[in-house]
Each structure stands twice: as structure tokens, then as C-alpha cells.
Amino acid sequence: MNNPTPGSDEWLDQVKEDIVDPDRPIIDPHHHLWQERRGRNYLLEDLWADTGSGHNIVKTVFIECRAQYRDDGPEHMRCLGETEFVLDQARKSEADPNQATIAGIVGKVDLTLGEDAREVLEAHVELGDGRFRGIRHAGSRAEHPEELFIAGDNLEGLYLRNDFQTGINVLGSMGLTYDTWHYHYQNRDFLELARACPDTVMILDHFGTPLGVGRYASRKEEIYEQWQKDIAALADCDNVVAKLGGLAMPDNGFGWDKRATPATSDEFCEAQKPYYMHTIECFGPDRCMTESNFPVDMYSISYHVLYNGLKKILADFSEDEKHAMFYGTAARVYSLD
């Protein structure tokens, strides 16, 4: 008999846990939706299966993933198809008051358009019907794409380009946020971007993705030490907010995606707590928000087990601090209340 495939429902169902602190209200500010990717769909019913698995997830924010772009029309406007697709899912999510509502949409615009990005941004806002909150034009560029599960292919030196920084400033002038995802060796460039565009709220996704596979597997301690310094420097930028999560992607190198069974919450907590504690120490709870990064992180851990792990990591914080990290920061940054 073959072992179930990592990331499959059968594989994830092998680890079941009682829910920790089940009544705590939570906003999950980072998930994706897509059709026919990596062998499966992840649509509203799949999201609800996860958000309804025991924790009190009341609202979510969709983050761009190049889903359902338009097939025709001007190239720079095709990204509007993703907002149309997610808006349909968001409206359906409002039908059941007992399930999580997709309350915010973060889409994609090519910010190297500079001032011309405004036209596309305005179209996103209009299409979003009150739900559109910002843009993720990720900076991730893999040095060795053949070694990674998800190899970012964005422009080299993106954060330092004048046209891109102009686009970032347009975001801020419109009251929109900027999410980004990149690898650990790009944190210093992101720091320069944050300093250059202080009037735009920027959200660092996934701790800046410290890699731990391929040639990075033997350098984890070195990478961690530099990562600590970079996080501390980024925290000095008042316009940067940190997402706590997305560290269970296969490329982080914890190896759970290679096992016969997914991670337990205790394993998750033991392996990842230092990253969380350092980031919170630097940014403070009011500038940190927990995230699921589903369905990507399901290659390591199931949704309810992940949130058990997050609650265990944050167990010793005060009630106000926990509320900020599980709900309040996301509500404020993405204007969800």
C-alpha cells in the first residue's frame, strides 16, 4: 500500500488534534484561491473546510497568486480577472454567517508601470466592490530555481528600480497596502524600498522566507543569524508590518513535506518558535499578524494543527497582545472592521 501524497486530504487527515483556545476570534490575512493548480482546486468550499475545522476564523484576506487572469485585452489589465474571480467567491462567502467571510482582496498590478499603475489600481478598486485592499507585486527571484518547490521569477533588483518605487508611492497615495514575498537574501533590498517609500504601508510575508533546501540546507545557522539582523533593521521602518506564518513551505527546509505524516503542532512550535519570538520582539504585537498561507503550507501541516501551533507559540502573551496578533493588527492594516 502506497503512503498518501504530502498535501493530500488523506495525508493531512492522519494528524488530528483537539482545538486549542477554540473561541478566540481570528482573521486569517493570507490565503489563496485557485483552480487546477498542483493537482487540485482550492476554492471557497475548500477554504471553508479549513477555516471551519475547529478554530474561530471569522474573516479572511485573499492574497494574489496569478489566478484566473483574463485571457485577452491589454496585457497590463489582465490581472483584473483575478479580482473578478475572487469577488465571486467573496460574495458567496457572505451567504453563511457561520462560516468565514472573505472580507479583503489583495491583487496584482505591475508596479513598474509607475504612475500609470493608477489606472489599473482604480479598476481593481471599482471591481472589488468595497473589498479591495492592496497589491502584492512580489520581489521573489530565485538564485537557484531548480532547487526550489516555488521558484520566484520576478525581476532582478525589482525593489531598487525607480519606476517600481514610483508605483509603490502611488499605492500609498491611494490608501492601498503593499504585500510582498521574497527570499532571505533579498531582505536588505526590501529594507531600502521601505526606507525609500515611507508613506506606503508594507507587509512582509512569510518572515522573508529563510530558505533551507538545496545549497541553503547546510547554511541554516548562518542564514538565521543574518535574518535576525535584517528583521531588526526592517522593524525600524514604521511603515512595515510583519506576517507571522508561511514558514512551513517546503522551501523552508523543515522536511515535513518529505515525511509519511504531516507535522504536529508541538513539532511546529518547537521548530519555528524562535522565528516568531524574534519577529515579535522586534516589531511588537501591534505590528504582527498571524497567517495560514494556505493552501501552500498544507504540504507540511493541516490548517487546524497549524493554528494550534500558532496559539501554542503565542500562549504566554497577554490577552490584548494575542488579540492583536490573531485579529486586531489584520483588522487595522486591511481596514476590515
176 Cβ neighbours under 8 A, 6+ residues apart: 121, 125, 132, 133, 134, 135
% of the chain surpassing 70 pLDDT? 100
Residue 1 lies in a domain: no
pLDDT of residue 188: 98
Amino acid (1-letter code) at residue 80: L
State which H helix or E strand residue 149 sits in.
none
pTM summary value: 0.97
283-306 pLDDT, tens digit per residue, is 999 999 999 999 999 999 999 999
pLDDT of residue 1: 53
Query: Which residue from 111, 106, 110 is spatially nearest to 128, judged by alpha carbons?
Result: 106
Residue 3 lies in a domain: no
C-alpha cell at 76: 497590463
Residue 60: which CATH number? 3.20.20.140
In which residue are the cell numbers 490575512 written?
29
23-76 pLDDT, tens digit per residue, is 999 999 999 999 988 888 999 999 999 999 999 999 999 999 999 999 999 999
Q: Give the range of the structural domain holding residue 170, as residue numbers without chain letter.
A: 9-137+144-333
Residue 18 lies in a domain: yes
Question: How many domains are there within the chain?
Answer: 1
Say how far apart CA 79 and CA 69 lie, in whole Å: 5
